[in-house]
Chain A
Amino acid sequence: METQTIIQKFILDELAKGRKKTIDVDDDLLGEGIIDSLGILQLVAFIEEKFNYTVPDEDVVIENFMSVSALSHYLDQKLASKG
Chain B
Amino acid sequence: MSYRYLLHAAIFENAQKIPDHPAVRFQKEELSYLQLAKASNQLANFLISRGVKRGDRVGIYMNKNLYSAVSIYGILSAGAAYVPLDPFAPIDRLSFVINDCQIQFIITNDQKMEDIKEIISKTSLQGLIGVQSTSEIDVPSYSWEQIFSFPSSSPLIQLVEQDLAYILYTSGSTGTPKGIMHTHRSGLSFAEWAVQTYQISSEDRISNHAPLHFDLSTFDFFASAIGGATTVIIPEGFTKLPASMAKWIQDEEITIWYSVPFALIQMLERGNLESRDLSGLRWILFAGEPFPTKHLRTLMKTLPWVKFSNLYGPTETNVCTYYHVAPLPEDSDEPIPIGIVCENTEDLVVDIEGRPVAEGEIGELLIRGGTVMKGYWARPDLTEKGFYRRKMFDYCEDIFYRTGDLVQKMPDGNYKFLGRKDRQIKTRGYRVELDEVEAMLLSHPTIHEAAAYPVPDVEGSNLIEAAVILIEGESISEDDIIKHLSGRLPSYAIPTKIIISDDFPRTSTGKINRRQLQERATRRINS
Contact = CB atoms under 8 A, between A and B. Distances in A.
Interface in A57-78: 57-62, 65-66
A45 B502 CA distance: 10
11 contacts: A30-B236, A31-B235, A37-B266, A37-B506, A38-B504, A40-B240, A57-B243, A57-B270, A58-B243, A60-B242, A60-B243
B506 A30 contact: no
A32 B239 CA distance: 13
B205 interface: no
A36 B243 contact: no
B237 interface: yes
A7 interface: no
Interface residues of A, number: 23
Nearest to A32: B111
B503 A61 contact: no
A79 interface: no
Nearest to A28: B237
Given A38-B503, A38-B504, A60 B63 contact: no
Interface of A: 28-33, 35-42, 45, 57-62, 65-66
Given A36-B506, A42-B503, A62-B244, A57 B239 contact: no
Given A38-B506, A57-B272, A62 B237 contact: yes
A33 B239 CA distance: 11
Contacts of A57: 242-243, 270-272
B88 interface: yes
B87 interface: yes
A66 B236 CA distance: 11
B243 A61 contact: yes
B184 interface: no
A40 B63 CA distance: 19
B514 to A, nearest CB: 15
Nearest first, the 10 A-B pairs at minimum CB distance are: A30-B237, A33-B88, A38-B503, A37-B240, A57-B270, A62-B244, A61-B244, A31-B236, A61-B243, A31-B237
Interface in B92-122: 111
B111 A31 contact: yes
Contact of B241 (A28, A32, A40): A40
With most chain B CB atoms within 10 A of its CB, the pick from A28, A33, A59 is A33
A62 B238 contact: yes
B244 A41 contact: no
Contacts of A30: 236-237, 240-241
Interface in B237-284: 237-244, 247, 266, 270-272
A37 B247 contact: no
A41 B243 contact: no
Contact of A61 (B63, B236, B247, B510): B247
A42 B240 CA distance: 12
A61 B235 CA distance: 13
A81 B504 CA distance: 35
Contacts of B502: 41-42, 45
A29 B63 CA distance: 13
Contacts of B239: 37
Contacts of B88: 33
Contacts of A38: 503-504, 506
With most chain B CB atoms within 10 A of its CB, the pick from A37, A40, A42, A60 is A37
Contacts of B270: 57, 60
Contacts of A33: 87-88, 236
A39 B502 CA distance: 11
B237 A66 contact: yes
A19 to B, nearest CB: 9
Contacts of B247: 61
Contact of A62 (B87, B111, B241): B241
B240 A35 contact: yes
A37 B505 CA distance: 10
A59 B247 CA distance: 12
A58 B242 CA distance: 9
Nearest to B271: A57
A57 B268 CA distance: 11
A56 to B, nearest CB: 9
B111 A60 contact: no
Nearest to B248: A62
Nearest to A41: B503
A62 B236 CA distance: 10
